[in-house]
Amino acid sequence: MTDSTGRTVTANICLTLDGRYSGPGGPGDMGAIVPYAATEVARRHLSRIWEGATTALLGRRNAEGFLGYWPSVATDEAADLRDRGYAKWLVDVEKVVLSSTLTEAPWARTRIVDAPAVDVVRELKATGVGDILVNSSSSVIKPLLHADLLDRLYLMITPEIAGGGRRLFDDGLPASKWFPTHQDAGERGELALVYDRVR
């Protein structure tokens, strides 16, 4: 699952039953995903994804969106403890944001890199310790799937068919085999799944 550096590259994303990370209305159409984001299964899954991760790798859109939400959760004493734990981790962890348009980092402990995701991940794997988490950023996950650089997938599957929108698993990906290492089903039909790449 890992290479000689010991750094595992993981990715977290929510998908509909038909494999879409957004609906037919565009990137902001999350109607088939958001209703399941705060379930018990989703919160347990959220707690699981950042264990062992020392670097968060994000695309620009997610970095800016997360900045508008998670820092306030980290200091909200009324928030669910699992949400606060994740939020504090995200605020404190090293963050690498892939962008060709940002001129300054939107977060503390963040660096902006204008380079292909594959090159950035190869550089990160050669240095540092701990897991590298690609955090809900399809623009980063897709090229890493094409380059077979992902070691683990954390998937939340919602029991809805979006009927349109962007798919994560495009045609043309290299064939690969994955082994399920965890599964958790919620009362509303949502599934939290963890798959490790078999090499």
CA distance 142 to 19: 13
For domain 9-198, the CATH architecture is: 3-Layer(aba) Sandwich (3.40)
The three-class DSSP label of residue 14 is strand
Q: Are 82 and 70 in contact (CB under 8 A)?
A: no
Per-10-residue mean pLDDT of the chain, 199 residues long, equals 69 97 92 94 94 95 89 94 95 95 88 96 94 96 97 98 95 96 96 97
Tokens standing for residue 136:
């809900």
Residue 134, classed as helix, strand or coil, is strand
Is residue 182 a contact partner of residue 155, using CB atoms and an 8 Å limit?
Answer: no
Q: What is the pLDDT of residue 74?
A: 94
Residue-range domain boundaries for the chain: 9-198
Other residues' Cβ atoms within 10 Å of the Cβ of residue 178: 14
Residues 105 and 103: their CA atoms lie apart, in Å, by 7
Compute the distance between CA of residue 40 and CA of residue 48 in angstroms, rounded to an integer.
12
Around 151, how many Cα atoms within 13 Å sit in the side-chain half-sphere? 16
State the Cα–Cα distance between residues 160 and 164, nearest whole angstrom. 12
Given the structure tokens 């347990």, which residue do they identify? Answer: 44
Using only the alpha carbons of the chain, give its radius of gyration.
16
Q: What is the pLDDT of residue 1?
A: 45
Output the pTM of the full model.
Answer: 0.93
Q: What is the DSSP letter of 174?
A: P
pLDDT of amino acid 5? 53
For residue 116, count other CB atoms closer than 10 A to its CB: 13
Inter-residue contact 134 to 12 (CB < 8 Å): yes
